[in-house]
Amino acid sequence: MSAHIVVLSEEIANQIAAGEVVERPASIVKELIENSIDAQAKNISVEMEKGCGSIRVTDDGTGIDSKDVALVFERHATSKIRKIEDIYQVASFGFRGEAMPSIASVATVELLTKRQGQTEGTRAYVDAGVIKEISPAGCPAGTQITVSNIFANIPARRKFLKKENTEQSLCLDAVTRASLAYPEIRFRASVDDKEVFAVPQSAEIKQRVAAVMGMDFSANCIGVQGERENWKLSGFISHPEFTRSNSKNIYLFVNRRFVRDNSLIHAVLSAYRQIIPPRRYPAGVLFIDLPPQDVDVNVHPAKLEVRFKDARGIYEMVSGTIAQSLAQSSGPKDSFVYRLTPRGESFSAGAPVQPQKYFNKYPPAASRQEISAGLTFGKVVGKIASVSADDEQEKGRINFSGFSYIGQYGGTYLIFSADDGLLLIDQHAAHERIILEKLKKESTQKIASQRLLMPEIISLTPGQITLFAQHIDLLGEIGLDVEIFGKDSLAVKSLPALLSAAGAKEIVLDIADKLQEQNKASSLQEKKEELFASMACRAAIKAKNDLLPQEVNALCNDLENTPFNTTCPHGRPISIKLSLDEIERMFKRK
Ligand code: ADP
Ligand code: MG
């Protein structure tokens, strides 16, 4: 290797820059679409040859003046900014003047363009970064760019590409993302002349989201709307019943720019914690809009990542707004009518009668004697296919109308019957959810706590004591008053009133574990909710515990009025239904 320093040729410099901007064919699709959007196009068409042999993007935007065409392929040539301060106010996708020269340096590019209102257009032909021809040409107003021989001159880069199908689907992802943020633009995409994606211009984002994300999502989504400082969050997220196996279906946009941001994804997921099962993910299309000076978009070569001035504030706006939307969509119905009708005692006849330790504050409901015949089974668990907004509230909620209580099985499962099926409820899972939601609701003010008659002394490791000492205020806010005694013990003075039936010691030991596991980056609300979940688990009635009918009565009453009443905080189901149809099929009667 020579020890002399040389200035690299422009061609090599462009190829190096291209390595960052044009990682794969999908990057070309993304950059070309963004240029078309910046040119105010109303129609954008992406044509691909199978395996991304060539990519053509056609738009009906402003077009490029013939005397500017040569500049398109020069590095740092842009029509979008003039001075450095502009990039902190920038509203366009592009501003670095890097994409076109980068693409041209690793492929063959044919450009056809005509400025709106001009009579003649221009054709340019560029091969491996060298302009071979610029000439007048007849073409419609707008711009058409055809890129072929992609990476032909850079075999090393070609080797890194994935299977043809994968690259093609990544190209289509680029179209999908752009289309989600620009409902006013009509997009179409084809592969080998076969149309694979088409969305018409839509007046509202809602219609575009439905067209792109599909019926399944739009029938199972919840609108999100929130504000903080002068930032805004809007969009749609999936109902907790509708989960996916990865987080790829969460589309995030910052000022209409698609971004991949782990912290924002985490903010979304945090709102679903304790609502959906572990390793399942929601889907969503979310738009964060904020003044350009509050976000730096110039931190990533392909601008896929951004840096917020106040990342913590944005995180809280996202997780808080979504949590609130989920809670509202799952809120208890006002017109609740209680019609549970116990018919018999527990299956375990002869078992000793248990004191009513969990539900003694509930008087047995008068309506217990009613028998409500003829009510349908359809509302119990499971999705309702309808899209209408009125049904949104009903989706997946447990409702006991029409059911009679038959009894308890194994000290754990409550069995109900209706004309058209059986319903099994896991009593622990149900009670856990009820307590968690009550604690969450109370925590919006101050959690009611109950003083213990005698403080309970609990010994812990010095490490655990340090953690408790650090979190003493947080614990106070959730209704747990502790006082630290020396290096290895503490006294519990009061507990959240809701948990009075549970042992202070177990609760404190669980909390010690939780504090140890907790992610330092979690927000205060997340930390609280994790502690609530662990307390709810301790305080909930256990399996193998006989319940009196009036206890069952109260549990069902509460459950109907609890948000997210289909799963326990660990994501396990609270209820299982067996329809008459299924039962008859099992007995081969059908
Ligand atoms: P940037 O988008 O950062 O300005 P590019 O290299 O992507 O840089 O494009 C260079 C310039 O070419 C743009 O600033 C714009 O003036 C022009 N241009 C590229 N594509 C189009 C298009 N589809 N319609 C109109 N002008 C375009
Ligand atoms: Mg650009």
The domain ranges of the chain are 10-199, 206-338, 362-590
Fold of 362-590: formyl-coa transferase, domain 3 (3.30.1540)
Helices within 363-503 (DSSP H only):
389-392, 427-442, 462-470, 472-477
Ligand number nearest to the C-alpha of 37: 1
CA distance linking residue 360 with residue 545, whole number of Å? 16
pLDDT in tens, the chain (590 residues): 567 888 888 778 777 777 777 889 999 999 999 999 999 999 999 999 987 889 999 999 999 999 999 999 988 888 887 787 777 777 788 888 889 999 999 999 999 999 998 999 999 999 988 999 999 999 999 999 999 999 888 887 777 787 777 888 889 889 999 999 999 999 999 999 988 889 999 988 999 998 888 777 888 899 999 999 899 999 999 998 888 878 888 999 999 999 988 999 999 999 998 888 877 889 999 999 999 889 988 777 777 888 999 999 999 999 999 999 998 887 443 222 222 333 332 222 223 333 363 232 222 332 222 222 222 222 222 222 222 333 333 456 788 888 888 889 988 999 999 888 999 999 999 999 999 999 998 888 888 888 888 888 888 877 788 888 888 988 998 999 999 887 778 999 999 988 866 778 888 888 888 887 776 667 788 888 889 988 998 888 888 888 888 888 889 989 998 988 888 888 888 999 899 999 999 998 88
Helices within 182-310 (DSSP H only):
205-213, 215-219, 262-272
- Whether 61 is in the pocket of ligand 1, judged by its Cβ within 6 Å, is yes
> Ligand 1 centre and the CA of 37: distance in Å?
10
Ion ligand 2 — residues with CB < 5 Å: 35, 94, 99
- Whether 301 is in the pocket of ligand 1, judged by its Cβ within 6 Å, is no
- Phi, psi for 213 (deg, rounded to 5): -85, -15
DSSP bridge pairs for 146 = 56, 110
Domain 10-199 has CATH 3.30.70.260: no
Give the pLDDT confidence score for residue 355 in this predicted structure: 31
> Ligand 1 centre and the CA of 308: distance in Å?
26
> Ligand 1 centre and the CA of 109: distance in Å?
14
CA distance linking residue 46 with residue 59, whole number of Å? 9
Ligand 1 atom closest to residue 78's alpha carbon, by position in its atom list: 14
> Ligand 1 centre and the CA of 194: distance in Å?
28
- Whether 17 is in the pocket of ligand 1, judged by its Cβ within 6 Å, is no
Helix axes 524-539, 427-442, angle to 10 degrees: 140
Give the pLDDT confidence score for residue 96 in this predicted structure: 80
Give the pLDDT confidence score for residue 392 in this predicted structure: 35
Ligand 1 atom closest to residue 92's alpha carbon, by position in its atom list: 2
Contacts of 235 (CB under 8 A, 6+ apart): 205, 209, 223, 224, 284, 285, 286, 287
Give the pLDDT confidence score for residue 28 in this predicted structure: 96
> Ligand 2 centre and the CA of 79: distance in Å?
10
Q: Find, among 240, 572, 580, 585, the residue nearest to 412 by Cα.
A: 572
Give the pLDDT confidence score for residue 434 in this predicted structure: 93
Pocket test for ligand 1, best of 27, 32, 38, 74 (most atoms within 8 A of CB): 38
DSSP state of 244: B
Helix axes 262-272, 311-329, angle to 10 degrees: 30
Give the pLDDT confidence score for residue 2 in this predicted structure: 61
Give the pLDDT confidence score for residue 332 in this predicted structure: 41
Fold of 206-338: Ribosomal Protein S5; domain 2 (3.30.230)
Contacts of 272 (CB under 8 A, 6+ apart): 240, 281, 282, 322, 326
- Whether 142 is in the pocket of ligand 1, judged by its Cβ within 6 Å, is no
- Whether 41 is in the pocket of ligand 1, judged by its Cβ within 6 Å, is no
For the stretch 265-311, pLDDT in tens is 999 999 998 888 877 889 999 999 999 889 988 777 777 888 999 99
Give the pLDDT confidence score for residue 425 in this predicted structure: 94
Lookup result for tokens 């149309």: 195
Give the pLDDT confidence score for residue 1 in this predicted structure: 59
- Whether 143 is in the pocket of ligand 1, judged by its Cβ within 6 Å, is yes
Q: Whose CA is nearest to atom 2 of ligand 1?
A: 94
H/E stretch holding 102:
helix 99-105
Give the pLDDT confidence score for residue 375 in this predicted structure: 21
Pocket test for ligand 1, best of 69, 100, 105, 122 (most atoms within 8 A of CB): 100
**Distance of CA 466 to CAs 461, 469, 473, Å?**
9, 5, 13
Do strands 284-289 and 489-496 pair parallel, antiparallel, or not at all (unpaired)?
Answer: unpaired
Helix axes 504-517, 462-470, angle to 10 degrees: 80
Contacts of 442 (CB under 8 A, 6+ apart): 448, 496, 498
> Ligand 1 centre and the CA of 48: distance in Å?
20
- Whether 529 is in the pocket of ligand 1, judged by its Cβ within 6 Å, is no
Q: Find, among 272, 84, 50, the residue nearest to 166 by Cα.
A: 50
- Whether 99 is in the pocket of ligand 1, judged by its Cβ within 6 Å, is yes
> Ligand 2 centre and the CA of 80: distance in Å?
9
> Ligand 1 centre and the CA of 78: distance in Å?
6
Ligand number nearest to the C-alpha of 39: 1
Pocket test for ligand 1, best of 22, 34, 59, 72 (most atoms within 8 A of CB): 72
pTM flag (> 0.75): no
- Whether 100 is in the pocket of ligand 1, judged by its Cβ within 6 Å, is yes
**Distance of CA 69 to CAs 21, 116, 150, 343, Å?**
21, 15, 21, 84
Give the pLDDT confidence score for residue 519 in this predicted structure: 66
- Whether 62 is in the pocket of ligand 1, judged by its Cβ within 6 Å, is yes
> Ligand 1 centre and the CA of 529: distance in Å?
48
Ligand 1 atom closest to residue 59's alpha carbon, by position in its atom list: 23
